[in-house]
Amino acid sequence: MRADRLVATLLLMQARGRVTAAELASELEISVATARRDLEALSAAGVPVYPQPGRGGGWQLVGGARTDLSGLSAGEAQALFLLAGPAAAGAPEVKSALRKLLGALPGTFRADAEAAADAIVVDQAGWGERPTERPPMVSRLRDAVIARRRVRLAYAGREKSERLVDPWGLVDKDELWYLVAGTAKGRRTFRVDRIVSAVVTDEPAERPSDLELAAVWQEVVEEVEKRRSLLSADVVLDRRHFPVLRGRFGRHCELVAELPGDRVRARVAAPAPVMIAQELAGWGALVEVEGPESVKAELARLGAELLARYGS
């Protein structure tokens, strides 16, 4: 798990002072390329790790070797916990590492570090949509979550609106980002790429003392699933294409059966037949829809429209 490796990488660098990517790869039993990416991730997150080129070079912490974590600044501690925190929910070993790290931090930094560890949840199951780039608003909202400050949002949902919210945390759902927040009307979820502007105020944000962001997000997912998964269709396709189909439908795609000839039967779901048909139409003959008839009818309608416009 990447977060666990990042923690191990930092501790190893503190013990040795300087390591090469090859030494780190050997120690953690990973590839040199993976070790180099982890070191670059620590540096990009604000942890003071930097490379030294040339013979006898490698990667080291600013200031040289350290024997414990008490030398970390507040910003560096936050960066580390932001990297490790999202993985802790499903990994006891990461939780244990974070507890040890917290114990080694100066008391003045612990609150911010704990806030950073619970600021982001990672949900790798997509909803069939992936943005081309990370919204620039993520960093500002993350800082507001950690600082526990209210945010004034301009949001372009069904219609543009402005509201003052208490930011509880961010969710990275297969690279589609969401803000979970408290509002005057209760908990709300906002797609970050639809936030037009976000002004962090000086007002302290209210956050339930027993809030567990991962559990709250699971409730949000279950509510959305009930609204989205109203109709399912069975399709047959080559096994090699199934990962692509799952990437398009996200958690609304499941493997139903293995078939002869290296084929599989999958079940996909969406709120309406036309939405399934629109997604499958681009597959052409690569998929065979077994049912229901409503989805077949929508595919036939789409095909007739395309033929009428582009057929010779």
Q: Is the pLDDT of residue 310 over 80?
A: yes
Instruction: Pick the more confident residue, 42 or 298.
Output: 298
pLDDT digits (tens, 9 = 90+) for 126-173: 665 666 677 778 878 888 887 888 999 888 866 677 889 998 888 877
Q: Please name the fold of domain 2-77+96-108.
A: Arc Repressor Mutant, subunit A (1.10.10)
Q: What per-residue confidence (pLDDT) applies to 238?
A: 92
Phi/psi of residue 257, nearest 5 degrees: -160, 150
Return the closest-CA partner of residue 71 out of 125, 9, 146, 17. Answer: 17
**pTM of the entire structure?**
0.49
CATH 2.30.30.100 fits 123-223, yes or no: yes
Q: Class assignment of domain 229-310?
A: alpha beta
Residues whose CB falls within 8 Å of the CB of residue 193, separated by 6 or more in sequence, listed in order: 131, 135, 137, 176, 177
Q: What per-residue confidence (pLDDT) applies to 289?
A: 92
Residues whose CB falls within 8 Å of the CB of residue 194, separated by 6 or more in sequence, listed in order: 155, 156, 157
Q: Is the pLDDT of residue 26 over 90?
A: no
Q: What per-residue confidence (pLDDT) applies to 151?
A: 92
Q: Is the pLDDT of residue 64 over 50?
A: no
Mean of the pLDDT values across residues 103-110? 52
Q: What is the mean pLDDT of the chain?
A: 76
Q: What per-residue confidence (pLDDT) applies to 98?
A: 54
pLDDT digits (tens, 9 = 90+) for 68-104: 454 555 555 555 555 555 544 444 554 555 555 555 5
Q: Where are the domains of the chain?
A: 2-77+96-108, 123-223, 229-310
Residues whose CB falls within 8 Å of the CB of residue 266, separated by 6 or more in sequence, listed in order: 234, 235, 236, 237, 242, 245, 246, 253, 254, 255, 256
Mean of the pLDDT values across residues 258-285? 88
Instruction: Pick the more confident residue, 181 or 252.
Output: 181
β 287-291/176-183 pair status: unpaired
Q: Is the pLDDT of residue 125 over 70?
A: no
- Percent above pLDDT 70 for the chain: 66
Q: What per-residue confidence (pLDDT) applies to 145?
A: 82
The position carrying tokens 């027993």 is 210
Q: In degrees, to the nearest 5, what angle opens at C-alpha 75 toward C-alphas 71 and 76?
A: 50
Q: Is the pLDDT of residue 112 over 80?
A: no
CA separation for the pair 156, 254 (Å, rounded): 32
Residue 52: exposure state from Cβ atoms within 10 A (0-12, 13-18, ≥19) = exposed
Residue type, 182: G
CB 228 within 8 A of CB 220: no
